């Protein structure tokens, strides 16, 4: 049987033993919320596992140092930005080789079929080649071989030269030996290519007239 006693604001009924004061079991919350004693900083109220980082503590203690560092970063960034070179066509390191073949007087269609296409097939066997570009004009064939970035330019040049010279046996008789040269994709390109011919002048006179200064 339980003992029943009238409840009041200071006791709690239990099955046995004497009444236990409520104040012994209920924590006093009034002293733990919203009170900061004199002499304590905000960092002292944060538990050890929630302490602010060293950068935050230094920034709070030295606000003027933070302002000076920010201004220094802005000034250095502006000076560096003014010194960065700006180029419409930046320098690329992609190795490329150009093959120029001449056959004076040969029509464009025959140049494309008998010279350009053959040189494309032969030089495409080079190791590391990525893509090709070609152009055929009257008496002129241009083949450009672009290689991957990890290919050495000298290796690419040697391969293309070897294949272009090996193809000479299959080119039409009278073809000028191919001229192989390293090609810079970022170099300024000519705005126009002109070809001159004449029914009156011979080949030498046409050449002199075409290359003479205006």
- CATH number of the CATH domain containing 159: 3.30.70.1430
pLDDT of residue 162: 92
Is 102 in the same domain as 134?
Answer: yes
Query: Closest by alpha carbon to 193, among 113, 139, 137, 145?
Result: 137
Question: What percentage of the chain reaches a pLDDT higher than 70?
Answer: 66
pLDDT of residue 75: 94
For the full predicted model, state whether its pTM sits above 0.85.
no
Per the domain annotation, does 143 fall within a domain?
yes
Per the domain annotation, does 20 fall within a domain?
no
Outline where 5-152 has alpha helix (H).
54-61, 63-83, 108-110, 117-123
Place of tokens 């097939």: 121
* pLDDT over 90 at 194, yes or no: no
Q: Collapse the DSSP code of 113 into the 3-class scheme (helix H, G, I; strand E, B; otherwise coil) and give the result.
A: helix
Query: Closest by alpha carbon to 20, among 28, 8, 2, 32?
Result: 8
The residue with greater pLDDT, 52 or 68, is 68
pLDDT of residue 144: 92
pLDDT tens-digit series, residues 5-26: 444 444 444 444 455 554 444 4
Residue 149, phi then psi, degrees to nearest 5 = -65, -25
Place of tokens 């040189």: 119
* Number of domains, the chain: 2
Give the mean model confidence (pLDDT) for residues 161-172: 89
131, 142 Cβ separation under 8 angstroms: no
The residue with greater pLDDT, 82 or 183, is 82
Range of the domain at 147: 96-186
């Amino acid at each position: 049987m339980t003992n029943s006693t009238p409840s009041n604001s200071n006791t709690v009924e239990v099955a046995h033993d004497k009444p236990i004061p409520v104040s012994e079991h209920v924590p006093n919350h009034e002293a733990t919320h919203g009170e900061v004693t004199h002499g304590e900083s905000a960092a002292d109220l944060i538990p050890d596992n929630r302490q602010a980082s060293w950068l935050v503590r230094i920034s709070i203690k030295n606000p003027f140092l933070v302002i000076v560092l920010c201004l220094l970063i802005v000034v250095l960034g502006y000076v560096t930005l003014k010194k960065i070179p700006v180029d419409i066509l930046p320098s690329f390191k992609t190795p490329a080789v150009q093959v120029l073949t001449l056959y004076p007087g040969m029509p464009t269609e025959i140049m494309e079929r008998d010279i350009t296409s053959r040189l494309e097939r032969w030089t495409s066997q080079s190791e590391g080649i990525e893509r090709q570009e070609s152009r055929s004009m009257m008496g002129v064939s241009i083949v450009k071989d672009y290689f991957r970035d990890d290919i050495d330019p000298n290796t690419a040049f040697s391969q293309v030269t070897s294949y272009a010279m090996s193809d000479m046996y299959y080119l039409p008789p009278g073809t000028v030996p191919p001229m192989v040269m390293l090609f810079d994709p970022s170099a300024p390109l000519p705005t126009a290519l002109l070809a001159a011919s004449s029914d009156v002048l011979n080949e030498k006179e046409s050449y002199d007239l075409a290359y003479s200064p205006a």
